Structure 1
């Protein structure tokens, strides 16, 4: 990302709950065709799955579980261009929401990616639970997306996701729940020794659209020993977002 574009993006920060971190970002990327699928779940079901140093975040007494398919492009370190077929790939994550030190963030149970290099770099540098997967993310019609993911990582729990989704209206103003689910400008991860790390990000405010989805395969939560609620998920769509990320830092001593 050129310096001018970086400065412009970082200046647009009034929507954030706290300022972007000091220092230069390390990685830039674009996110495309995101579908947010969210279910409320019981606090006691998720609390044992989260490190003790993190507080499980709740909204109206419920924790939330999210499945988010999307596509990444232009993933590249600072001052380096993206490389076709290396910097562009689909990704699918299973997540919940946590907080530490006054900074609400995301806890990823898993991230599947169609890029073996990205999987290994993210595991080594960010301590994130990335997994190899065979994936496709293709346009459908004028505004829809056909998405499929099957995990192929050796000795990893099976996950599958197949869906067709699309926005059903123009962007709408986010309410309190939508902001709780999306206004997250950091992620948390734990290394092999259990040490907590925080990776901070910045982007413009989300342009969320109502969405619909036809889901034919959804096996994402067996890996954490949970079953998704029978209720229909809360759905949102976002077409594109420019993102910068800082190198992860230790949280606490």
Structure 2
């Protein structure tokens, strides 16, 4: 098990935090990481050309990540009931600019419409409004999501951890997948932007999942090589986020 430092210690990041104040804090809960291999040529066609792909052993990866957020608030403000917790579902892949590995989102489905609008505007992320429900049944997390508009992107699954907590070893596949401390998006002009994030190292567990319905990839034109994902679980992690900055000025 290993890795217990101060909550906001940043020594495990591979580059310094921005010399700017953080803007938002969140807690992410009951995350499932479901990762699918994808051919690099196929991935290159669906990720904006301005974002260089990041690969592991010559292979691209797509992640479906359902979870629910709590304790959401802007810096210097109290939590606002009704907007401080909601479910979210991400479809993501991995890119890297100037040695800084990060996440690129194909979509982020969320059940809170106000949060969707704010995130679309402030962070330029492809948030979508969805009907969502998260509950617990015995040791399983029961998760349902159905997008309210556009394509019929849905996920119905149940998942749970199956191992003790561990922390990814340096250079491992698990570290490559999860230990990423920024997200990338594009400006109106199509230039890469970066949002730095900070959280402790991921407390990971092996996981199992049953997928009753999953059209999150097929409905978004994403063709993976294998429909059996590699699964990991994380119970909870606290996060801070920074403002968007140009990714090319480092």
TM-score range normalised by the length of the shorter chain: over 0.9
Match of 1:182 in 2: 178
Match of 1:13 in 2: 10
| Structure 2 residues without counterparts, runs of 5 or longer | 1-5
Shift, 1:146, TM fit: 0.4
SS of match in other structure, 1:247: strand
Alignment check: 8 A CA contact 2:93 2:103 kept: yes
Runs of 4+ in 1 over 6 A off after TM superposition: none
Task: Report which stretch shifted further, 210-219 or 45-54.
Answer: 45-54
Match of 2:89 in 1: 92
Shift, 1:95, TM fit: 0.4
Shift, 1:184, TM fit: 0.6
Q: How does 1:1-253 map to 2 (within 5 A)?
A: 8-10=6-8, 12-141=9-138, 143-153=139-149, 156-175=150-169, 176-252=172-248
Shift, 1:225, TM fit: 1.6
Shift, 1:187, TM fit: 0.3
Two-structure CA RMSD over aligned residues (Å): 1.6
Shift, 1:193, TM fit: 3.0
Provide the rounded CA distance (Å) in 2 between the counterparts of 1:40 and 1:212.
18
- TM-score of the aligned structures, taking structure 1 as reference length: 0.91
| CA distance 1:149–1:91, shift in 2 (3 Å) | same
Shift, 1:82, TM fit: 1.5
Provide the rounded CA distance (Å) in 1 between the counterparts of 2:221 and 2:227.
18
| Structure 1 residues without counterparts, runs of 5 or longer | 1-7
SS of match in other structure, 2:243: coil
Return the structure number with greater helix share: 1
SS of match in other structure, 1:47: helix
Provide the rounded CA distance (Å) in 2 between the counterparts of 1:202 and 1:14.
10
- What is the number of residues matched between the two proteins? 243
Per-residue displacement from partner, 1:169-220 (whole Å, max 9, x unpaired)?
Answer: 1112424100000011000011343232111100000000010001101101
Provide the rounded CA distance (Å) in 1 between the counterparts of 2:157 and 2:210.
5
Shift, 1:231, TM fit: 4.2
Provide the rounded CA distance (Å) in 2 between the counterparts of 1:54 and 1:74.
31
Per-residue displacement from partner, 1:37-59 (whole Å, max 9, x unpaired)?
Answer: 00111100011222222210000
Task: Report which stretch shifted further, 16-25 or 159-168.
Answer: 16-25
Shift, 1:157, TM fit: 1.9
Shift, 1:79, TM fit: 1.3
Alignment check: 8 A CA contact 2:167 2:201 kept: no
